[in-house]
Amino acid sequence: MTTKPELLITAGSLEEVERFLKAGATAVIVGESIYGMRMPGQMTLADIELAMPIVRKYHAKLYVAVNNILHNDALKDLPAYLTAIERIGVDAVIYGDPAVLMTIRSSAPSLKLHWNAEMTSTNYATARYWQKRGSSRIVLARELNMEQVLEMKQYLPDMEVEVQVHGMTNIYHSKRHLVQHYLRHTGQEEETAKVGRDRKLFLIEQERQEEKFPVYEDENGTHIMSSDDMCILEDLKLLLDAGLDSFKIEGLFKSAAYNEEVIRVYREAIDAYAADPSGYAFRPEWMERIRLVQDPERELSFGFFYKEQMY
């Protein structure tokens, strides 16, 4: 029996927290859009307080996303927010903006920190830099390839490394309200009121008619998401062998039922590996179960794990 990696997912409500833990997740990320980026639902401090006993019941972990790019006006209430989070006793705060680090030092020093700067968390030396400044975990950029992901633990033996294994990724974030602007430009003022995730808007680039890129707006601007869902299940063994600490499923834009099934499948795979690492083998039926619930218009891909990128 080896140490199992954490199976982590974002959750948007108390109900989702409980359902995901029941399905086999061992950690959940929650938050609200004033501080947290692209959360699947709003969880206030009161909700987080209520989530804590549920999480403990399952011997799981609760992380709060405070990973927005912050402007001055967000700083005023940040100390109180982080102090409250510390008092509730969550297991870590996820951050990218150094202002959060500064505030935690002064207002909530016992909170653990996970460094997640999205596309820009790309190398071990920078992970160490943030480790020296108090971060216990790096959340790897999704644009890294398999080789780069696998070697991370060799460089970071005493830092947790989290890698996304499943779901969509954000590929563009603007402070501008691009959808509203376009609707207004084309004389569709009445459409501008509904531009959130529920509207299920997507973009198609002229020369890529098969790919649909979800787009939505919230208080933090415009978010464009990948047209595919990464799924590394077939090669999960590589990540398990490499000793990565946390496998993340991105729950955004998915039904709770979909996320539960994905959790169950990854749970089985992780448990099977832990029970017998050398005898472990990928089972095709795992993939079949995910395909059954997968939106047929969204490809299940390997993300950037096996892509050659130029620059």
* Contacts to other proteins from residues 126-145, by CB under 8 A: 126, 129-130, 141, 143-144
DSSP string across 290-306: HHHHS-TTS-EE-TTTT
Q: Which is nearer to other proteins, 61 or 223 (CB)?
A: 223
**Terminal C-alpha separation, the chain:** 42
**Nearest residue to 53 (alpha-carbon basis) of 88, 104, 97, 4:** 88
Question: Is position 125 an interface residue for other proteins (rule: CB under 8 A)?
Answer: yes
Which residues, 291 to 310, sit near other proteins by CB under 8 A?
A: 304, 307-310
* Of the candidate residues 173, 237, 267, 283, the single one contacting other proteins (CB under 8 A): 173
Question: Is position 172 an interface residue for other proteins (rule: CB under 8 A)?
Answer: yes
Q: Which is nearer to other proteins, 65 or 270 (CB)?
A: 65
Which residues, 179 to 218, sit near other proteins by CB under 8 A?
A: 179-186, 188, 191, 199-206, 208, 212, 215
Question: Is position 171 an interface residue for other proteins (rule: CB under 8 A)?
Answer: yes
Which residues, 242 to 281, sit near other proteins by CB under 8 A?
A: 255, 257-258
* Of the candidate residues 44, 46, 174, 291, the single one contacting other proteins (CB under 8 A): 174
* Of the candidate residues 20, 35, 95, 124, the single one contacting other proteins (CB under 8 A): 124
- Position 95: which residue type? Y
DSSP string across 49-93: HHHHHHHHHTT-EEEEEE-S---HHHHTTHHHHHHHHHHHT-SEE
Q: How far is the CB of 181 from other proteins (least distance, A)?
A: 4
CB-based contacts of 265: which residues, under 8 Å, 6+ apart?
Answer: 233, 286, 289, 290
Q: How far is the CB of 302 from other proteins (least distance, A)?
A: 13
Largest CA distance in the chain: 62
b/e map 186-207, b = 16+ CB within 10 Å:
eeeeebeeebebeeebebeeee
Instruction: Determine the interface stretch with other proteins among 15-23, 166-174, 241-249, 278-286 (rule: CB under 8 A).
Output: 166-174
Question: Is position 176 an interface residue for other proteins (rule: CB under 8 A)?
Answer: yes
The span from the CA of 120 to the CA of 311, in Å, is 15
